[in-house]
A and B are shown apart, each in its own frame.
Chain A
Amino acid sequence: MIKDITIGQYFIGDSFMHKLDARMKIILTMVFIVAIFLCKSFPALGLMVLFTIALVLISGVPMKMVLKSLKPIAIIVLFTSVLNIFYVRGGTELVSWRFIHIGTNGIFTALFMAVRIICLVVVSSLLTYTTTPTMLTDALEKLLSPLKLVKVPVATLAMMMTLALRFIPTLIDEIDRITNAQKARGADLDNGGFIKRAKALIPIIVPLFVSSIRRAYELADAMDCRCYTGGNGRTRMKQMKLMPRDFISAAVTALFVAGIIVLNHFFKAVIVR
């Protein structure tokens, strides 16, 4: 039931990837995404696919769960592939019928695009599968801390994110309660057309807002009582420390990027972009 929802999509585990420092994971994910778009030759693409599969295996996240994260983007992948097949000209002409021209370039581009998007989604969902939202928030706070120099309230923003995450289950509970209360008063939420159902949501949304504002006041008092004065002078109980495994992962990723560049250099690029 509602008590069982997990915030975010964290997959509880104890793998090498789970133990990595969240800051390192964020940076390496970004490096990987850049590497994805460096791939221009078939051997490089092959290396990237192998590396992605290796990452999934290391993470210990079941393949089924990873594939599930691909479902929402299936249409995008299909759409871009089809467009690329028809729009990218050049290479050996395979089909030429009236206005339809399909060349090898088009097919290669479509293939590259599809594989790139899939790898991108798989790797970035591995990040959220192996990192709790709290760790992600903390890591972002640390990574963005240079922005403090230009007066961006990074600590406050991170606090807001933490609070938002914290209150998601509470508010879901609340919506449930209000919905039941309105149903008990005879509200009809399930029938009628789109407009009618949208209107029926008003008696749920208004009380939700009222109670959220009341909660916010109480929370503010509670935070005041616990001496919260904004980010200044705060310390953190959990210190993030880079371990040897973080440097090993960084080195492996660097090798991977180097491999891509080398393979691109020695083999013919099959796509332009």
Chain B
Amino acid sequence: MEEKSIIQFDNVTFAYEANVDQTAAVPVVDGLSLAIPEGQFVAVLGRNGCGKSTLAKLINGILVPSSGRVTVDGMDTSDDARLIDIRRTVGMVFQNPDNQIVATIVEDDVAFGPENLGIPPEQIRRDVDEALKAVGMYELRGREPHRLSGGQKQRVAIAGIIAMKTKCIVMDEPTAMLDPRGRQEVMDTVRMLNKELGITVVLITHYMDEAVKADRVIVMNDGAIELDGTPNTVFSNVEKIKSLGLDVPQATELAYRLRKTGMNLSGDILNENECAEAIINALEAE
């Protein structure tokens, strides 16, 4: 890849330590190589247990590869001396918003990261206000987190990372515990981060409609990358994706079935509009 990659995996293998019952450790991530250029919005898909959460934790050094090398902006994650610098570069948002908020007031929580970095108070105030405005939570800055909805809590967690001014955010199923409205709020925020602030986003998700909005989709299976490309190219392999136990977006599914019945639909179809247009064109052509 010609662009500078911010996250680089070189032949990375990771296995959790062997169980008490002496079964050999099965690698969760197996010989994986990957380069993510700065500013890209990458979605990672895969079934439960395919290693996508492990992949996320490998990126900022919560886990260190058993073999191979992970580098973030040129820093090796196995180098303890650079750990703080790595985490200033890559922030992480987890699935359960309740387990990542540390303070009893929204703005105090957003300030937690910058405070840890020893940034001067006036600067923290500015960064925190900016981050809260970016995720649309500024008005609720004085609230107690347990009075917020799931989507709002997750946005607070995201603001906590933005306030640290990281270049990259890794999100491990940030919408898995949210209702549809909360999911929408969080996805809008994620897209804004990527498009307006130019932050590299690695989004690990179960939802195909979220993955469609990314620049690049990676499908994982058994600790390795099965498919990697733009949403268009990845989701055109409908059969392959289904064989991996995943779904394709509904519009793609519909187009796939119509094609199977012999209807001549052109182009890659990822959303309702594209699907409707293709069907209209096909019907007019007949």
Contact = CB atoms under 8 A, between A and B. Distances in A.
A218 B100 contact: yes
B115 A236 contact: yes
Contacts of B128: 237
A226 B112 contact: yes
Nearest to A159: B102
A198 B114 CA distance: 45
Contact of B87 (A166, A224, A238): A224
Interface residues of A, number: 32
A235 B96 contact: no
Given A7-B144, A162-B103, A237-B125, A224 B98 contact: no
B94 A227 contact: no
B98 A170 contact: yes
Interface stretch (B24-32, B116-124, B212-220, B267-275): B116-124
Contact of B102 (A166, A229, A236): A166
A134 B104 contact: yes
Contacts of B102: 162-163, 166, 219, 222-223, 226
A228 B112 contact: yes
Interface string B244-259: 0000000000000000
B105 A134 contact: yes
Contacts of B164: 226-227
Interface in A85-123: none
A233 B146 contact: no
A226 B116 contact: yes
B194 to A, nearest CB: 19
B104 A166 contact: yes
A185 interface: no
Contacts of A234: 115-116, 118
A223 B111 CA distance: 12
A176 interface: no
B40 interface: no
B87 A235 contact: no
B99 interface: yes
Interface in B111-143: 111-121, 124-125, 128
Contacts of A60: none
B101 interface: yes
B62 A218 contact: no
A221 B57 CA distance: 9
Contacts of A166: 101-104, 145
A225 B104 contact: no
B146 A3 contact: yes
A225 B115 contact: no
A165 interface: yes
Which of B57, B99, B161 is most buried by chain A, counting CB atoms within 10 A of its CB? Answer: B99
A235 B104 contact: no
Nearest to A221: B62
A142 to B, nearest CB: 14
A7 to B, nearest CB: 6
A235 B118 contact: yes
A100 B10 CA distance: 91
A133 B118 CA distance: 24
B118 A218 contact: no
Which of A134, A218, A227 is most buried by chain B, counting CB atoms within 10 A of its CB? Answer: A227
A239 interface: yes
Which of A162, A221, A226 is most buried by chain B, counting CB atoms within 10 A of its CB? Answer: A226
Interface in A224-251: 224-229, 233-239
A197 interface: no
B108 A226 contact: no
A226 B125 CA distance: 17
B108 A134 contact: yes
Interface string A205-217: 0000000000100
Nearest to B126: A237
Contacts of A163: 102
B8 to A, nearest CB: 19
B151 to A, nearest CB: 15
A226 B103 CA distance: 13
29 contacts: A3-B146, A132-B104, A133-B104, A134-B108, A162-B102, A162-B103, A166-B102, A170-B146, A215-B99, A219-B100, A219-B102, A221-B57, A222-B94, A224-B62, A225-B62, A226-B91, A226-B102, A226-B160, A226-B164, A227-B84, A227-B87, A227-B116, A229-B84, A229-B116, A234-B118, A235-B115, A235-B124, A236-B121, A237-B114
**Which A-B residue pairs are the 6 nearest by beta carbons?**
A222-B100, A169-B146, A237-B111, A218-B99, A226-B113, A237-B124
Given A237-B107, A237-B125, 15 more contacts: A132-B105, A133-B104, A166-B101, A169-B144, A173-B146, A219-B102, A223-B102, A226-B91, A227-B88, A228-B116, A229-B84, A234-B118, A235-B114, A238-B108, A238-B111
Interface of B: 57, 60, 62, 84, 87-88, 91-92, 94, 96, 98-105, 107-108, 111-121, 124-125, 128, 144-147, 160-161, 164
